[in-house]
Amino acid sequence: MKKFSGMIVIGLLALFIGLVISIQITTTQGSDQGGLIPVAKAQGYLEDLKKVRAEKDAALEELNKLEERLAQIEKEKSDEDFFLKGIVSDLEKFKMAAGVVDVKGPGVIVTVDDPLPTEETSDGYSVIMLRYELLLSLVNKMKDAGAEAISINGQRIIVTTEISLAGDNVNINTVPTAPPYIIKAIGNPDTIESTLTIRFGIIEQMKSYGLRISIDKKEEIQIPRYSGIIKYRYAEPVEEEE
């Protein structure tokens, strides 16, 4: 009996040592990226983000007020003059085509997020960022399905928009972005949704990388204007020869 009790003690000790080692391993895993950060710190960032967003909203409001005033002048003058009225309505049309006005309409919202971090995959890198061509393809498919306006994380996609991996970030319209990616598209919601979710289509392809994706059809979504100033330095208009 006595020799058995000795074995039990040793067994228990071995078990505890094993336990300690396994804890040690699980906590140091992935720490090469800076380790685990308490939630409280993350909440601080969330607060900062909220503050910046509020500031941005205030700036947007100011911009809207100025634009309203401009539109008012245009309207006042065009009511007097038939010719001016034509110009103003043309202006509206081309502004819309250039993507420099906020727009709304029915459409879909696609949310793309990185796969949940697991034991095996180190969570240091982002799948969707490395595979940013998926975003490029997704946007192209949306346009193919007749989307009229598209934005990714608030960045309006216009003709010269690039989606590029720059260092650790994916830049869209030269503004750095991070997941989760929220892609909004205005157009026929059913057509866009079916185009994306077709078998072996883009969504299935994205899901095969483990990305978490949700598609919502909406009655009305808003898409912001392109926030940059478009100025051509090389391209000059060609005089039209009839």
Residues 202-221 that bind another protein (CB under 8 A): none
In the complex, the smallest distance separating the C-beta of residue 223 from another protein, rounded to whole angstroms, is 8
Element of type H or E holding 79? helix 39-80
Q: Is 169 a binder of another protein (CB under 8 A)?
A: yes
In the complex, the smallest distance separating the C-beta of residue 206 from another protein, rounded to whole angstroms, is 14
120, 208, 219, 234: residue in contact with another protein (rule CB under 8 A): 234
Choices 177-185, 202-210, 211-219; region in contact with another protein by CB under 8 A: 177-185
Kindly give, in sequence order, each residue whose CB lies less than 8 Å from that of residue 132, ignoring residues fewer than 6 positions away: 163, 164, 165, 170
110, 183, 184, 188: residue in contact with another protein (rule CB under 8 A): 188
28, 140, 194, 197: residue in contact with another protein (rule CB under 8 A): 140
Provide the token pair at 240.
């039209």
Three-state secondary structure call for residue 167 = coil
**Residues facing 109 on adjacent strands:** 184, 216
Cβ-based nearer residue to another protein, 195 or 213:
195
Q: Is 194 a binder of another protein (CB under 8 A)?
A: no
CA angle 223–224–225, rounded 5-degree value: 125
111, 121, 153, 205: residue in contact with another protein (rule CB under 8 A): 153
Cβ-based nearer residue to another protein, 31 or 214:
31
82, 120, 219, 236: residue in contact with another protein (rule CB under 8 A): 236
Distance, CA of 30 to CA of 37 (rounded, Å): 12
Q: Is 198 a binder of another protein (CB under 8 A)?
A: no
17, 21, 198, 230: residue in contact with another protein (rule CB under 8 A): 230
Q: Is 83 a binder of another protein (CB under 8 A)?
A: yes
Q: Are 93 and 190 spatial neighbours (Cβ–Cβ below 8 Å)? A: no
Residues 110-129 contacting another protein, CB under 8 A: 114, 117, 119, 123-126
Q: Are 169 and 177 spatial neighbours (Cβ–Cβ below 8 Å)? A: yes
Q: Are 223 and 186 spatial neighbours (Cβ–Cβ below 8 Å)? A: yes
How many residues belong to the site for another protein (CB under 8 A)?
122
21, 95, 197, 209: residue in contact with another protein (rule CB under 8 A): 95
Three-state secondary structure call for residue 95 = helix
**Residues facing 175 on adjacent strands:** 172
Choices 33-41, 198-206, 209-217; region in contact with another protein by CB under 8 A: 33-41
Distance, CA of 106 to CA of 188 (rounded, Å): 7
Residues 6-25 contacting another protein, CB under 8 A: 8, 11-12, 15-16, 18-19, 22-23
Distance, CA of 162 to CA of 160 (rounded, Å): 6
CA angle 117–172–103, rounded 5-degree value: 110
